[in-house]
Structure formats: structure tokens, C-alpha cells
Structure 1
Amino acid sequence: MIEQTKTGIEGLDGILNGGIVKNSTTLVSGNPGAGKSILCLQYIYNGVEKYDEKGIYLSFEEDESDLREAAESIGFENWQEHVDNGDIKVYDKQVLLRENDFTSSLDILLEELEDGDYDRLVLDSLAMFELFFENEKEKRTYLLKFTDILSDSGLTTLMTNEQGAVFPDTEIGLENYLTDGNIYLIQTPTDTGVNRYVWVAKMRKQNIETDIYPMEISHGGIDVHENASAFSMMSEEESPI
């Protein structure tokens, strides 16, 4: 029986047939504004609020105060309380980039992981993480090492990845093959705003629903609608399938 970690996003967990595989690393990709950071904040917050699972949030792009404001603005009102009592541990860019060296940043994290108190981890974003490395080979080596450390520490991890293309099949990088799961967040412009969709393209060790599903971002976070037919809102010319 495969153990799973629920995201707490009901529609997404339904698509995943229960949740993300425990101790795995899943890449969350999308273009700017698609909702990657919101999904990750919600994943960590739901872990504490709903499942008594502590989380670590690594942000190479935001300050801790920016993350708090983002969390509270979307309706995660107890975020700071959980940070203050240690149920959510935040390492922001001021800490992670202080030495401008991956080994130093990893040492900081390893000290926290020794106690084994945490269940979930977010790395936001992989693009900034990769700036530590000079070439593709070095990036691949350290990414594999890092994901192995997280898995061995009992962490179920989400990593965000910035994607320039609107549709995922036109821009697939090495990191998509090195992670256990791939979740794409897609947004397409309309006359009145944007339509948003989620596509779980891969999740090792379990069966998943691979259709593209509509999603919304509102107060309270992301809602995924398990009605694939609603994808007909997108025209055939726009569709990535």
C-alpha cells in the first residue's frame, strides 16, 4: 500500500487518487502568476491545520514578511501563529543566500532535519536554487543529492519551477525527469481575465487522473474542479492536448 500525503486541496487530492506519494519530490511548474506559490503555501498551511504535519518553507525569492503577507491575504490567517510556535519553519532569501553557497544553505537545513520533526517541505523556486551551480552536470548532481536527502529525512516535497511557455509540452527541462511527480498550472487569457487549469502529468508509484481540470484562486486558496468537461471553456486552438 502506497502511503500518501494529502495536499488538503480536495479537488487536487481527488485527481491524485488520495494525495502525493509520501517522501516524494513533486515539481510544480507554471508561468508567472499561475498560482505556484499559493499552492505551496496552501500545502504547508493545510499540513498543520488539517493533518498535524509540520512544514518547512524555503524561499529563495521572498522575505519571511512577504510570505506572511501573502499567506494572510489569501486567507491563511494562522500562518504567523504556526511560524511562531515552530510548526512552520521559514527560511527566506536573506538566510539561504547569505553565503551565496549551496553547501552552506544545505548545512542550515540539515541541522533542522536532524530532529525529524517535519513532514512537508517546499522549495520556491528551483530557478533561484539553480543559480548556485555553474553547469548542467553540477545542477543535476546536486538536485539528485538534495532530493535524496529530503526523501531520507521523511519529507514530502514540492518544488516550484518557472515556465516561460503557456503550455507545458513546449518547454520540458531536465528537472521534470529527476522528480517523482509533475504538476502543471496553466493560465490562458480571456476577454474578461484568465482561465486557470491544473494538469498532473506524472506521479510515480500510483495511478492518477491525467485530464486537465479547471481551477480557481480565491480567498481560501486554490479550488480544483473535478469536472474535466469544463476544460471546454478553452478553444481547440488554445488547448495543449
Structure 2
Amino acid sequence: MTDLTRTGIEGLDSILSGGIVDNATVLISGNPGTGKSILGLQYIYNGVTKFDEKGIYLSFEENAEDIAQAAESIGFADWRELVEDDQILIYDKQELLRHNDFNSTLDRLLAAFEETEYERLVLDSLTMFELFFEDEQEKRTYLLKFSDILKANGLTSLLIAEQSAVFPEQDIGLENFLTDGNIYLIQTPTESGVNRYIWVAKMRKQDIETDIFPMDIDEGGITVHERAAGFSMMGGGNDSFPGE
């Protein structure tokens, strides 16, 4: 039986038939504002508070204070305390970009992974990570190397990526083919705001629900409505769900 890491996100684990396969690397894609970073924060926070699993949060875009404020804004009031207790390990942009050289950054991360007992990791974002590389071949080589390092150190990881297109089939990059799973976050405009959706497009070694499901972002983070599939994403009215 395959061992799974539960996200603790209401509705999402049901779609994943229990969670993410242990030691997998999963790409979380979406255009700006779809909730990718919130999903990452929630995955790390739930790991500590619900499953006694420590987490590492790598951010090439925010400093530690920005990350803490974002976590607190969705109801994770004890985030700073968990960081201080080393339940959550933060590498922010000041640490990761200290040397403009990926080999130096990778060496520091590798040492940290080997010396600590953490089980979850979020990289926010892969888009900034890829700026280290000059061409597709170098990007592929280092992405595979980084993924192998994560797996070898027992980390079940979410890699967050910005996507320019609203719909994923219009914007498929190299990283989609090099990860174990792909989850897309989508939002569509309505007269009253936006409707939000999640699509688990691929997960190796496990059965998944491949429909597109509505989701909300509220106090406590993301909730997925796994019983509400099979609808148009473009309208309001009958397409609205509680909290949207």
C-alpha cells in the first residue's frame, strides 16, 4: 500500500484519494491571485498542527516577515511561534539570494536538508528559481537534481509556479513534465468578483479525481468542494457555491 502525505485541506485529500504520495514533488500552477501561496502555507501549517510533520518553506519572493503576515492573515495566528520552535524552517529571499549563484544556494539547502528531520517542503516560487538558469537544458538538469535531492531526503514537496495563461493547456512548461503531480488553480471573473477552481491534472502512482472542482479561500485557507463537479466555469447563478 502506498504511503500518503495528507494535505489537511478540506476536500483536496478526497480528490487525491487520501493525500500526496510520500516523497513526491508536485507542481502547483496558476495565474496571479489564484491562491497558490495560500495553498503552500496551509500545507506546511497543517503538517505541523494536524499531523506532527515539520515543514520547510523556501521563498524567492518574500522575506520572513512577509510570509508570517500572510500566514496570520488567513488565521494561522501561531505561525511565528512554530517558526521560533523550529517546527517550520524558513528560507526567505534574503537568505536564498544572498549569493547570485545557484550552486552555492543548492549546497546550503542540501546541508540543511541532511541535518534536519523535516517531512514537507514548499518552494515559492519555481518561476523565480528558474531565473538562475540560462537555457532549457540547464534548467532541466538542475530541476531534476533538485527534485532528486528532495526525494532523497524524504521530503514531500509542493513547487509553486506562476502561469501567464488563465487555462493551463495554453501555458505548459518544462516543469510540468518533470514533476510527479500537477495541480492547477484557476479563477474566472463574475459580476460579483471571481469564482475559484482547482484541477488535479496528474498524480503518479495514485488514483485521482480529474474533474475541475470549485474552491473557496476564507479564514483558515482553502476549502475544496469535492462534491460539486461537472459545471460551467464561466457563469454565475447555478455555478455559485457557498462562500463564493
Same fold at TM > 0.5: yes
Shift of 1:173: 0.7
Alignment deviations for residues 33-85 of structure 1 (CA, whole Å, 9 cap, x no partner): 00000000000000000000000000000000000000001001111011000
Counterparts of 1:150-165 in structure 2 under 5 Å?
A: 150-165=150-165
Partner in structure 1 of residue 79 of structure 2: 79
Shift of 1:230: 6.7
SS in 1 for 2:183: strand
Partners of 1:63 and 1:231 lie apart in 2 by 39
Partners of 1:192 and 1:142 lie apart in 2 by 43
Q: Does residue 206 of structure 2 align to residue 224 of structure 1?
A: no
Q: Does residue 90 of structure 2 align to residue 90 of structure 1?
A: yes
Partner in structure 2 of residue 63 of structure 1: 63
Cα 1:68/1:230, change in 2 over 3 Å: farther
Shift of 1:110: 1.4
SS in 2 for 1:68: helix
Partner in structure 2 of residue 147 of structure 1: 147
Alignment deviations for residues 188-227 of structure 1 (CA, whole Å, 9 cap, x no partner): 0111100000000000000000000000000110000012
After TM superposition, which residue ranges in structure 1, 4 or more long, deviate above 4 angstroms? none
Partner in structure 1 of residue 212 of structure 2: 212
Q: Unmatched 5+ residue regions in structure 2?
A: 236-244
Q: Does structure 2 retain, via aligned residues, the 8 Å contact 1:119–1:155? A: yes
Q: Does structure 2 retain, via aligned residues, the 8 Å contact 1:211–1:228? A: no
Q: Does structure 2 retain, via aligned residues, the 8 Å contact 1:214–1:230? A: no
Question: Counterpart of 1:52 in structure 2: which amino acid?
Answer: D
State the percentage of identical aligned residues: 70
SS in 2 for 1:7: coil
Shift of 1:108: 1.5
Cα 1:147/1:229, change in 2 over 3 Å: closer
Partners of 1:100 and 1:13 lie apart in 2 by 38
Counterparts of 1:77-156 in structure 2 under 5 Å?
A: 77-156=77-156
RMSD, matched Cα: 1.5
Partner in structure 1 of residue 193 of structure 2: 193
State how many pairs are aligned.
237
